[in-house]
Every structure is written in structure tokens, then in C-alpha cells.
Homo-oligomer: A and B are copies of this chain.
Amino acid sequence: MNSGDYSQLRSRSVDSIRQAIRRNEYRGHTAGLAPGFLQANVVILPESYALDFMRYCQRNPKPCPLVGVSETGDPILRTLGAEIDIRTDVPSYCVYREGELSETLPDIKALWSDDMVAFALGCSFTFENALIEAGIPIWHIDNDRTVPMYRSGIMTVAAGGFGGEMVVTMRAIDAERVDDASRISRRFPLAHGGPVHIGDPLAIGIADLQLPDWGDVPPPVGNQVPVFWACGVTPQQALMHARLPVSISHQPGRMLITDIDEQAEVPILQDASKLSIRDAMSSKA
């Protein structure tokens, strides 16, 4: 199976898709796969940087909405699924050394070590699905392209060595639906929330919408309004900014697929064993 087998995966269950990815049978993008399940951006780094990275996420919740954090050295993301192994369950990984992309890999079994911490961060698929359900068309989905992404002039709030510019995505929306798109996306704080900017690209330092830094070139916006959301590529830029000896992310668009309902208020696997009813009477005695 290769990236061309995407269409075949679309009808498979989340477990089956994850198995195919784990066996390195599929290394392509995950948009549209396992509909209804939360997908996540991934960051992996040594524990000595983990506290500063969590501070960075807390201070920049729109680009970096944390949905899961592993124990140090434990590759299993226990709150996001029954058996998600972060070493193998992402279609393709980017490895950064001293702030530069050094390689892409189908798994990171050889790189994972006892001092690593894995982070999962929410992605835009969740709110895009909600926009489509509300009858707001999304160009890049209707045309099987990748959303255009831009390095903006909005600076993130730094923490430790993590910082730099916010990466944003752009979706052109009919003027009369912009308020709806804002309101709907704001309902999903774990999927980047509401827009960070509406209208003139230059106001956030973007000179030409036809020159995205990542993703596909969109058609001219015409009479539509360009609406900008924080993008999950921002933490990858922050990783490079921090120039860690080694860090790892997913390859953009090739996300971790979790077992969590993408509409869940809290992205934590509900485990029946967590509800242990005490003998309330005796504890009051």
C-alpha cells in the first residue's frame, strides 16, 4: 500500500487505519480518514525542554491546543486511545537537529528514548467539518488540495527558547457567512478556536495570498473575505526556533489519528474504571 491507496483507507475503521500506518503500509495525508475521530499534530522532545514547551502551549493556546501529553519515556499515549504508540502510529515523522530539518522517517523506534515526552495538539480538521456541516464551503477540501499556510507577523508569546512567528491558515469565506464561521470555530478551542484575523492580509504581515509558505496556492479571494486561523505548524516553527539538539514532529498533514470523538468537550479517553463510587456513608462517618 502506498499514498495512492488513500481512497481504499477511507472506508476502513480507525483501528484498521492505525494498523496500516503502524506497519508502514501508508505514509500519506490523513484528511478525511476516520471521520469523527480527533486528529492531532505531534511534537516529541527531551524532558528537559518539556516544561518550557508546555508553558509555550499554555501561552499560545490557539496555535498550540494541547490534547495529550505522555509520561516521560512512555511511548503510549494512554489518554488518547486504547493503544496508541507514538513511535509508529504517525504516517511520517520530521526529525530536527539543532533547529534544522534533518530527515523524514516512517517510524521513530530508533530515536525514541527514556527521556522523551510526546505531545499531541489539536488540528483544524475538527472545525472544518463543523463549517462544512453549516453549509460553509471550504475551497481546499472541495478541490482536494492542502490549506494554504503563511508565516504571519503575529509573534507568539515566548517560553524558554520557544517563540517566533505564528503560522496561520487562510480560508476565503463569503462575507455574509464570516460571523457564522467565527462563531462556529470558536466553539472548538482544542481545534484552534476562532479566527486570529479577518480581512486585510497585510495587517498581519502577509503580502501576497498567492505566495503561501506551505500548502497549495489558493484562487484569488475575489469578493470573498480572507479569514485567518492559527495553524498547528506554529509549534514546529517554535521547535526550530528553540534549536534543540533533537526534536521530532509529524510531517504536516500526516496526523496522529486518536480514538477520541472530535466533538468531545474533553479529549481524554473515558475509562469506566475511573469512576469508583466510594462508600459515601462511611466516609462521612
A residues apposed to B, CB below 8 Å? 47, 50-51, 54-55, 58-62, 66, 68-69, 71-72, 79, 117, 151, 153-157, 159, 165, 186-187, 189, 193-194, 202-208, 211, 265-266, 268, 274-278, 280-281, 283-284
* Residue of A50, A275, A284 ringed by the most chain B CB atoms within 10 A: A275
CB-defined contacts of A66 to chain B, threshold 8 Å: 58
CB-defined contacts of A59 to chain B, threshold 8 Å: 69, 79, 268
CB-defined contacts of A205 to chain B, threshold 8 Å: 276-278, 280
**CB-defined A-B contacts under 8 Å, sample of 11:** A54-B69, A58-B66, A71-B159, A79-B157, A154-B274, A154-B275, A186-B265, A189-B189, A193-B266, A205-B277, A208-B284
Known pairs A59-B79, A155-B274, A189-B265. 10 more at Cβ < 8 A?
A: A51-B54, A59-B69, A61-B266, A79-B157, A153-B275, A153-B277, A153-B278, A186-B265, A202-B280, A205-B276
Count of chain copies: 2
Contact A280 B207 (CB under 8 A): yes
Contact B207 A281 (CB under 8 A): yes
CB-defined contacts of A283 to chain B, threshold 8 Å: 151
Cα A77 to Cα B116 in complex, Å, equals 28
